[in-house]
Structure 1
């Protein structure tokens, strides 16, 4: 398990969404495929967050759990970057590239690193062309 206090965090001490990138990949390579809810749950377990953080909710959206939302956001960026494959809604598979980066960087995968992946750059270019 990881000591969550060593992760990149916000002023309130909670991990930022991108602090979960490396943890998600570390967990994802444990199996061939994951349902999103299982991968989120296993990532939160690996991060070893205290119950108070796990139960935090956004004030304006009392049903949304903050940490689950942050892991979901990181999952999305990992899929866009080509590090996780999303063959259908709610199903994630680690890609070869995701496995390579997980092995090379461990949990120290940054937003900058994944946003420099060719798949992410292609996605951003396509989004900008749609405007």
Structure 2
């Protein structure tokens, strides 16, 4: 088992996490972190060694990183919030010798490759700058980090229940101000919803209403034009002139063109998670930084 600072590296913990979950139905991430760390039988000075910057226990953090990469690679699934269980792929990987279950092996899995491709698309907006600037560097690093969080967020949403996704999008649009000061927001019943998943009344009387359709799809399940036409039909039955169609995947060009003609707002998976970060839905601020510059006016006579 490879080590760093006297502790096992995160990738060397991959076989232990899979072995631990091999005969369990679903375990919380906190329990996995603790139990796998305990199984190493480390001396107390290493078992409870913390980061120089934070109070987090290093070895438990490394178990957490192993869980994260196993999840992104499809070896683990998340049946509910904070709960992980092994998948069929994970069971196959667990049969490998420990020396074969490496970071490279994990990162060669199709699910991880797809995740990296999506992350790369998010990072296209970052341009390399030959001239180093500390503010730009921090901004770029922050953007990359947040893009990673957004990609993980999207994967979690795609594996959640459809009813959870419907509540999520209604909460998000409310947080964005669509509900107004005295308006209301509701998720429609799962049966006989008439193609409408959520309704937001922007005022107490409901004179301005926004109708929502939410489709929780995998990234490769592209929303096509018929889905937009169907939503328009549902809007017409309500005599509505405004609607928002939200998906965890993407829209085809035909779907985009049709939505534009029908005045339907489209939000795809990347826009969705960016908005969730912007309006702090499903996430919380991890750290706040203050960057200072000289106030030249203060020193003027």
Please classify the TM superposition score into its range, dividing by the shorter chain length: 0.7 to 0.9
Using the TM superposition, give the Cα deviation of residue 87 of structure 1 relative to its aligned residue in structure 2, in angstroms.
2.5
Structure 1: stretches of 5+ with no match in the other structure: 1-6
User: Cα deviations across residues 46-66 of structure 1 (Å, max 9, x unaligned)?
Assistant: 2222221111011111x2111
Normalising by the residue count of structure 1, what TM-score does the alignment of the two structures yield? 0.86
Secondary structure, counterpart of 1:93 in structure 2 = strand
2:12 and 2:98 map into 1 onto residues whose CA distance is: 12
Normalising by the residue count of structure 2, what TM-score does the alignment of the two structures yield? 0.39
Q: Does 1:94 align with 2:86?
A: yes
Q: Does 1:105 align with 2:72?
A: no
Q: Does 1:60 align with 2:74?
A: no
After the TM superposition, which residues 1-131 of structure 1 pair with which residues of structure 2 at under 5 Å, given as runs? 7-10=1-4, 12-61=5-54, 63-106=55-98, 108-131=100-123
Structure ranking higher in strand proportion: 2
Using the TM superposition, give the Cα deviation of residue 89 of structure 1 relative to its aligned residue in structure 2, in angstroms.
2.2
| Mapped contact 1:22–1:108 kept (Cα < 8 A) | no
Change (3 A) 1:53 1:108: farther
RMSD: 1.5
Secondary structure, counterpart of 2:3 in structure 1 = coil
Change (3 A) 1:89 1:107: farther
Structure ranking higher in helix proportion: 1
Larger relative contact order, structure 1 or 2 (CA cutoff 8 Å, min sep 6): 1
| Mapped contact 1:81–1:119 kept (Cα < 8 A) | yes
Deviates more, 1:27-36 or 1:107-116: 107-116
| Mapped contact 1:36–1:90 kept (Cα < 8 A) | yes
| Mapped contact 1:16–1:70 kept (Cα < 8 A) | yes
Deviates more, 1:102-111 or 1:113-122: 102-111
Structure 2: stretches of 5+ with no match in the other structure: 124-301
1:50 and 1:28 map into 2 onto residues whose CA distance is: 24
- How many residue pairs end up in the alignment? 123
